[in-house]
């Protein structure tokens, strides 16, 4: 049977090879997964032109996924450095990679990324438009914005961030309700500026039906961007953010009518007590569509440590409804991340995602912890290293401080509670 998108197939009762692959990974009956994809509650970003893809499911009942941002910029424009990050991110088990390139040979880098990445690949086409056309933002036409989207789709991009929710009504709401940090979304600020300079509607909102046709043709998942996400604790859950979320919910239904898969993007920065209400709002207003969050960062005062502030917020968000976490590195707000920054961000996000999966009862999550606990009880260091979220660091720490007794560590030595309990209970030699 012919079908256009994963959602179209699911609604026709077809279980695609991508659904079968995801169902195996998630320990889920394929028919149950098909029903969730048909309802829009799970997406499988899988552009038909991405031949190296190992598909993943994002949404209800799936393990929490993480995304890594990278790409070339004007100040850091080494394509090989960014490709090295791609390879390392894949080794560190990221589920998705977003190419945020905004300078230079973006097309060449994007194609190489798609060729080598088994992870889903995302982009933000509006970033590319200014460099692609080599003209001022104000002079780019609506048709040219859409042409960049089609080019990315043709290249094999699996999901695209499209800031269609910041229409003129949302922009007016923002202007009536001043913020401490204004609009911090790069794509959102570009489109806001374009609307102000041209006194016109957001082209992605005005021509949303044409956008959907492109996405349907290539099976691109739309990640509806949160142009009005809060960039500070003070701006969280304000009028502009909620106004945009309402619009995103309406756009979600329009996309589903065309069998186009949808992800909703969310905050941002917010205090701990606001996270759970925001998760409930998104799921309600956006009809259960998968939710993708940047953090949220739970305090604004930790530059250099924002991978930690993000992991705290991400764990809470994912435990209460978020499905997809965008990693944040220690370099957030400071500079383009290095390889080591990227690793720290990935590990922090994976910890947050797994902590949430434990809380949600995701199949297979608790077994990993139980296996680690068994290895610790048995003082089986090699198994502990193998099971660790970061085996390299665990092995290095052990090697840097060797104990007198190999069945202990230098924290407790012969006083090790695990070692002594094993002996007292007859599972090892004398104390």
Residue where a domain terminates, one of 306, 341, 360: 360
3-class DSSP state of 66: strand
Strands of 236-327, DSSP E: 262-266, 291-294, 324-326
Residue with tokens 């589920």: 95
The candidate with the shortest Cα–Cα distance to 201, out of 241, 252, 163, 239, is: 163
On whether residue 23 sits in a domain, the answer given is no
On whether residue 27 sits in a domain, the answer given is no
Q: Is 102 labelled a binding residue? A: no
Strands of 181-259, DSSP E: 221-224
Whether 345 and 369 map to the same domain: the answer is: no
Residues in the chain: 431
The set of residues, in sequence order, having a beta carbon less than 8 Å from that of 391 and lying 6+ positions away, is 385
Q: Is 218 labelled a binding residue? A: no
Q: Is 265 labelled a binding residue? A: yes
Whether 290 and 195 map to the same domain: the answer is: yes
Measured between alpha carbons, how far is 121 from 68 in angstroms, rounded to an integer? 10
Whether 346 and 386 map to the same domain: the answer is: no
- As given in the structure block, the two tokens for residue 105 are 């040979």
Helix%, strand%, coil% for the chain, nearest 5: 50, 10, 40
On whether residue 81 sits in a domain, the answer given is yes
> Phi and psi at residue 69, in whole multiples of 5°?
-95, 135
**Omega within 30 of 0 (cis) for the link into 27:** no
Q: Residues 368, 373, 374, 375: is their CA dihedral positive or negative?
A: positive
Q: Residues 5, 8, 9, 10: is their CA dihedral positive or negative?
A: positive
Residue with tokens 């705290």: 312
The candidate with the shortest Cα–Cα distance to 71, out of 86, 87, 90, 52, is: 86
Q: What is the DSSP letter of 338?
A: -
Q: Is 254 labelled a binding residue? A: no
Parent domain of 406: 402-431
Q: Is 229 labelled a binding residue? A: yes
Q: Is 152 labelled a binding residue? A: no
The set of residues, in sequence order, having a beta carbon less than 8 Å from that of 135 and lying 6+ positions away, is none
Whether 208 and 238 map to the same domain: the answer is: yes
Q: Is 95 labelled a binding residue? A: no
Whether 281 and 372 map to the same domain: the answer is: no
Whether 200 and 298 map to the same domain: the answer is: yes
Whether 85 and 152 map to the same domain: the answer is: yes
Q: Is 287 labelled a binding residue? A: no
On whether residue 30 sits in a domain, the answer given is no
How many structural domains comprise the chain?
3
The set of residues, in sequence order, having a beta carbon less than 8 Å from that of 42 and lying 6+ positions away, is 33, 36, 57, 58, 59, 60, 61, 62, 290
Q: Is 98 labelled a binding residue? A: yes
- As given in the structure block, the two tokens for residue 379 are 């003082």
Q: Is 409 labelled a binding residue? A: yes
Q: Residues 30, 35, 37, 38: is their CA dihedral positive or negative?
A: positive
* Residue 4 vs residues 45, 120, 216: alpha-carbon distances, Å: 13, 18, 6
Do 185 and 224 contact (CB within 8 A), yes or no? no
- As given in the structure block, the two tokens for residue 275 are 């996270």
What pairs with residue 267 in β-bridges?
none
Residue where a domain terminates, one of 299, 332, 360: 360
Measured between alpha carbons, how far is 207 from 291 in angstroms, rounded to an integer? 24
On whether residue 230 sits in a domain, the answer given is yes
Whether 229 and 344 map to the same domain: the answer is: yes
Whether 350 and 372 map to the same domain: the answer is: no
pLDDT digits (tens), the chain, 431 positions:
589 999 999 999 999 999 999 999 999 999 999 999 999 999 999 999 999 999 999 999 999 999 999 987 666 567 888 999 999 999 999 999 999 987 666 888 999 999 999 999 999 999 989 878 888 999 999 999 999 999 999 999 999 999 999 999 999 999 999 999 999 999 999 999 999 999 999 999 999 999 999 999 999 999 999 999 999 999 999 999 999 999 999 999 999 999 999 999 999 999 999 999 999 999 999 999 999 999 999 999 999 999 999 999 999 999 999 999 999 999 999 998 999 999 999 999 999 999 999 999 999 999 999 999 999 999 999 999 999 999 999 999 999 998 888 888 888 888 899 989 998 998 654 44
pLDDT at 429: 47
Q: Is 185 labelled a binding residue? A: yes
Whether 396 and 406 map to the same domain: the answer is: no
Whether 391 and 411 map to the same domain: the answer is: no
Q: What is the DSSP letter of 415?
A: G
Q: Residues 409, 410, 414, 415: is their CA dihedral positive or negative?
A: negative
Whether 170 and 259 map to the same domain: the answer is: yes
Q: Is 186 labelled a binding residue? A: yes
On whether residue 269 sits in a domain, the answer given is yes
> Phi and psi at residue 145, in whole multiples of 5°?
-60, -45
pLDDT at 431: 44
Q: Is 87 labelled a binding residue? A: no
Residue with tokens 């590319």: 128
Q: What is the DSSP letter of 396?
A: H
- As given in the structure block, the two tokens for residue 392 are 């390299």
- As given in the structure block, the two tokens for residue 270 are 């917010």
CATH of the domain at 55: 3.20.20.540
Measured between alpha carbons, how far is 198 from 217 in angstroms, rounded to an integer? 30
Within 10 A of 234 (CB to CB), how many other CB atoms are there?
14
Residue where a domain terminates, one of 329, 360, 391: 360
Q: What is the DSSP letter of 431?
A: -
Q: Is 259 labelled a binding residue? A: no
On whether residue 304 sits in a domain, the answer given is yes
On whether residue 260 sits in a domain, the answer given is yes
Measure the N-to-C terminal CA separation of the chain; round to a whole number of Å.
69
């Amino acid at each position: 049977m012919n079908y256009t998108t994963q959602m179209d197939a699911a609604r026709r009762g077809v279980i695609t090879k991508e659904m079968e692959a995801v169902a195996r990974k998630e320990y889920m009956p394929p028919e149950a997964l098909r029903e969730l994809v048909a309802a829009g509650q799970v997406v499988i970003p899988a552009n038909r032109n991405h031949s190296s893809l190992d598909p993943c499911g994002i949404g209800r009942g799936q393990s929490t996924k993480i995304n890594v941002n990278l790409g070339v910029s004007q100040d850091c424009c080494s394509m090989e450095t960014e490709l090295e990050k791609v390879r390392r991110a894949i080794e560190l088990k990221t589920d998705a990679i977003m190419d945020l390139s905004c300078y230079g040979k973006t097309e060449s880098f994007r194609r190489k990324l798609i060729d080598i990445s088994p992870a889903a690949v995302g982009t933000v086409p509006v970033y590319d438009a200014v460099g692609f056309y080599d003209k001022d933002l104000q002079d780019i036409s609506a048709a040219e914005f859409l042409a960049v989207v089609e080019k990315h789709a043709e290249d094999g991009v699996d999901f695209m961030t499209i800031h269609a929710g910041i229409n003129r009504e949302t922009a007016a709401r923002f202007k009536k309700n001043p913020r401490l940090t204004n609009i911090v979304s790069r794509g959102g600020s570009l489109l806001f500026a374009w609307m102000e300079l041209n006194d016109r509607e957001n082209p992605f909102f005005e021509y949303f039906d044409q956008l959907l046709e492109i996405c349907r043709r290539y099976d691109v998942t739309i990640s509806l961007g949160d142009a009005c996400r809060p960039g500070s604790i003070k701006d969280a859950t304000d009028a502009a953010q909620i106004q945009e979320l309402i619009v995103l919910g309406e756009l979600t239904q329009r996309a589903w009518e065309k069998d186009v898969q949808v992800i909703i993007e969310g905050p941002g920065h917010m205090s701990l007590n606001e996270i759970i209400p925001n998760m409930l709002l998104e799921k309600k207003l956006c009809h259960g569509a998968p939710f993708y969050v940047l953090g949220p960062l739970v305090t604004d005062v930790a530059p250099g440590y924002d991978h930690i502030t993000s992991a705290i917020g991400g764990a809470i968000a994912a435990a209460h409804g978020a499905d997809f976490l965008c990693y944040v590195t220690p370099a957030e707000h400071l500079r383009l991340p290095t390889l080591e920054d990227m690793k720290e961000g990935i590990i922090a996000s994976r910890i947050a995602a797994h902590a949430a999966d434990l809380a949600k009862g995701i199949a297979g999550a608790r077994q990993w912890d139980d296996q680690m606990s068994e290895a610790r009880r048995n003082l089986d260091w090699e198994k502990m290293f193998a099971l660790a979220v970061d085996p390299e660091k665990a092995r290095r720490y052990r090697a840097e401080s060797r104990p007198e007794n190999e069945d202990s560590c230098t924290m407790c030595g012969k006083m090790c509670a695990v070692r002594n309990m094993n002996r007292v209970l007859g599972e090892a030699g004398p104390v």
